[in-house]
A and B are shown apart, each in its own frame.
Chain A
Amino acid sequence: MRTGKLGRALLRVLVVSAVLAAFGAFDWYPTIRDLGRLRLERNDIERKTREYAVMASRFASVDDEEEQAFSRSEAALLRSLPLAEREGVWTGLFISESRTWARKDGIRSARCLIAPPKTELEDIETGGGALLANWINCWQANAITEAFAIAADSGRSPWRGTFAGLHLSPGRRLSSRPLAIALGAPLPALLDFVNHISWGTTRLEIVRLHLEPGAPDSRAWMVVRGYFLSGYPSAWDLRWEKSLGDDLLIDPDSPLLWQKVDPGFIYLEEKRALAPAGAPPW
């Protein structure tokens, strides 16, 4: 009899334990775990809200003057991109501007290279042109071709972020076209031309400059790149599938970003003339 009573008591304990275990396993434990997670999440949101409120109290908000500065900046960016309906128009603009500066700077001979050497040469000035052509074709062809490849690779453009926010009219596309120019002239004239290459509507960027000093004439070639808006698809349309090299990034911790922008802010000095020939190097 006592054994029977003991057995029944043991059975009751087992039943109670099973009920407790069921509640614990299927309800209490998951709920307590969720409570812990939710507590951390709530604390995190409260901390973020406090920190944001402190940050916002020190931050200068945008006003009408600053909005106008932003608008003018976007407009200036669009204006800086010449409209060339087709790539041939852009190339013609490059040749025309190069010819103008070559004459102003006293360049004896110059040749524009529309594609890697040996194709579509355009003489700007005669006189020494054959020597220049020989120099390009025999000694510099590989180097110019390599520089062309670098300039044509849109993944190496540092302006991806800048152009990413550009709003173009329907039918307009952003293009970039590398070109090259070879020159023969006295060194001061040649360097003046190098300095002036970016002053025109085409706003050309030098990708590579190769210069060989000599007398009476030095020789140089430059591979340059410019950006323009076109109306028709072409092989020069910019695509940003891959990213290589440096992109222009603004330091997110810069104190400049906490203050209103200065509409007259100039990041880089604008056009400057080189020191005249004979001036001390420093």
Chain B
Amino acid sequence: MADENGEERRTIHSRLRFLLVLILILAAISALLHLEKFRRLKDIGRGKEKLAALVRSRPVEATMARRARFYQIQYFLGYPPAASYAAADLARRIAAIDAPLRLLSVQIDPGVHDLGFELTVEAATGGPGEARRLAVFLERLRHVPNVVLADLSGPGAGIRGGGVRVYTLNGRAELQP
């Protein structure tokens, strides 16, 4: 009887030791994993400090922003007279186009980098020459210096009466060559 009790106690102790050893091993594995996690966090912190120090000593983006602002200001300062000249010069060249059409109006909308323009022209209707005259005018318009785009577009031809038809042409021109 006593032997049986002793054996039973030994068995229980053995099982408890096994369980304890198992838990210790598992805890050790956990500790190693957490240690590695802590080490990587430290590495990241050091890396961020190093990058921040590098950015402080050589502020590339901040300097580029300051230089970009310098060029923005220079452009702003030169823009009004440049745009006025470009608009007046474009109107002068368009009005000087020698073409068998009558220029009714020129509208110019200066943008930041280029000019938009819209012309209305008048052509006598009838006869096969109307389309040819318009084509000649359009071709000469496209050859005006600084004009990069010109086309017959907009609301389309309208009859004014008196045997004339009005056309609208749109386009774009560079602000400066």
Are B76 and A77 interface neighbours, CB within 8 A?
yes
Q: B94 to nearest A CB, angstroms?
A: 8
Are A206 and B54 interface neighbours, CB within 8 A?
no
Question: How far is it, in angstroms, between the C-alpha of A204 and the C-alpha of B70 when the chains are bound?
Answer: 21
Interface residues of B in 78-127 (CB under 8 A from A): 78-85, 87-89, 91-93, 95-97, 103-113
Contact with B along A176-218 (1 / 0, CB 8 A): 0000000000011001101111110001111111111100000
Total of A-B residue pairs, C-beta within 8 Å: 212
Are B144 and A41 interface neighbours, CB within 8 A?
no
Question: How far is it, in angstroms, between the C-alpha of A162 and the C-alpha of B69 when the chains are bound?
Answer: 7
> How many residues in B have their beta carbons less than 8 Å from beta carbons of A?
69
Give the contacting residue for B66; candidates A41, A62, A159, A268; CB below 8 A. A62
Give the contacting residue for B47; candidates A49, A76, A194, A250; CB below 8 A. A49
Decide if A131 is an interface residue (CB 8 Å cutoff).
no
Decide if B30 is an interface residue (CB 8 Å cutoff).
yes
Nearest chain A residue, comparing its CB with the CB of B97: A281
Chain A residues proximal to chain B, CB less than 8 Å = 12, 15-16, 19-20, 23, 27-28, 31-32, 34-35, 38-39, 41-42, 45-46, 48-49, 52-53, 55-56, 59, 61-62, 69-70, 73-74, 76-77, 80, 158-159, 161-162, 165, 187-188, 191-192, 194-199, 203-213, 246-248, 250, 252, 256-258, 261, 265-272, 274-275, 280-282
Closest 8 CB pairs of A and B: A268-B78, A198-B80, A56-B58, A268-B82, A45-B47, A281-B96, A250-B68, A38-B40
Chain B residues proximal to chain A, CB less than 8 Å = 15, 19, 22-23, 26, 29-30, 33-34, 36-37, 40-41, 43-44, 47-48, 50-51, 54-55, 58, 60, 63-64, 66-85, 87-89, 91-93, 95-97, 103-113, 144-145, 175-176
